[in-house]
Amino acid sequence: MPRGPLIDVPELIALMATPSPPTLLDVRWEFGAPPGGPAFLAGHIPGASYVDLYGELCGPSGDAGRRPVPAPTEFGAAMRRHGVRADGPVVVYDGADSTGAARAWWLLRHAGHRTVRVLDGGFAAWRGHGAPVETGPATGPRHGDFTAAPGGMPVVDADGAARIARAGVLLDARPAERYRGGGPGDGAGGHIPGAVSAPTGEWVTGQGTFLPADEIRARLHRLGAGAHPVAVYCGSGISATHTVLALAVAGVAAALYPGSWSHWTKDPRRPVATCAAPGGTPQPGPPE
């Protein structure tokens, strides 16, 4: 059964056999690991094209943050190189948990593409199903016609994130240690005052597939969302798109703070909070 922005392996196989198969984008990537190009060459879904997350789905580091949204012209050109069509379906996948795929999904949806879905469980699910695998570089010409027109997904800036932290629910998608002020990160340790710790890895199972929609809604309710507006941030705006995707599975439209913590901490006047444990009482922390 279709799950909103997700697609499973049997449905993808059926879609690939239609007269209008989807454009397949392989966005395999892991924190701290080299780009997924070698993994793509070793095996990928037949017909897929490899997308470099850092090189094609992020702009250069600067005032907008460490991994900002790429310029529309550059993003559109990259998607055309990979064969993305304005009126054709797109399916994106990564290794398993959809963190990298969620970034591609969000950017395409934000840029105006209407039919983008994420392979739930990624390449691991594809292999586990016994589906065919292709090796070597991508084959065939890539001549897409997609033009990026931003505005398709809700976003907030730093002031908007602060407002939602006060009047709605601002989710911090980073690991809980970084929310509390420990671990490596950008600028000061801690979190945006009023934000709620919600590590993005908790929206998926141990196999990397998303939790059912009712479980996602129940967890969101426990985090205090209810009918309040929701926004999400992380360290640099990548893993937060995974949380936005998880909430979309449950039918909840969440805004993204694209610059996230790497942008927030660039201004020393912005407050920083720490607490003893997620959900504890925030205490002021020294901004850097």
Task: Map out the domains of the chain with their CATH numbers.
Answer: 6-128 (3.40.250.10), 158-285 (3.40.250.10)
CA–CA dist 268, 57 (Å, integer): 28
| pLDDT tens profile 216-242 | 999 999 998 877 899 999 999 999 999
| pLDDT tens profile 66-110 | 999 999 999 999 999 999 999 999 999 999 999 999 999 999 999
Catalytic residue among 234, 247, 256, 273: 234
Cα angle 34-37-40, degrees, rounded to a multiple of 5: 130
CA–CA dist 274, 288 (Å, integer): 14
Mean pLDDT, range 248-266, rounded to an integer: 95
58: annotated active-site residue: no
Q: What is the dihedral of CA 54, 60, 65, 68, to 10 degrees?
A: -60
Mean pLDDT, range 261-272, rounded to an integer: 93
| pLDDT tens profile 100-144 | 999 999 999 999 999 999 999 999 999 999 999 999 999 866 789
Band (pLDDT 50/70/90 cuts) for residue 186 is low
Task: Please provide the average confidence, as pLDDT, over all residues in the chain.
Answer: 90
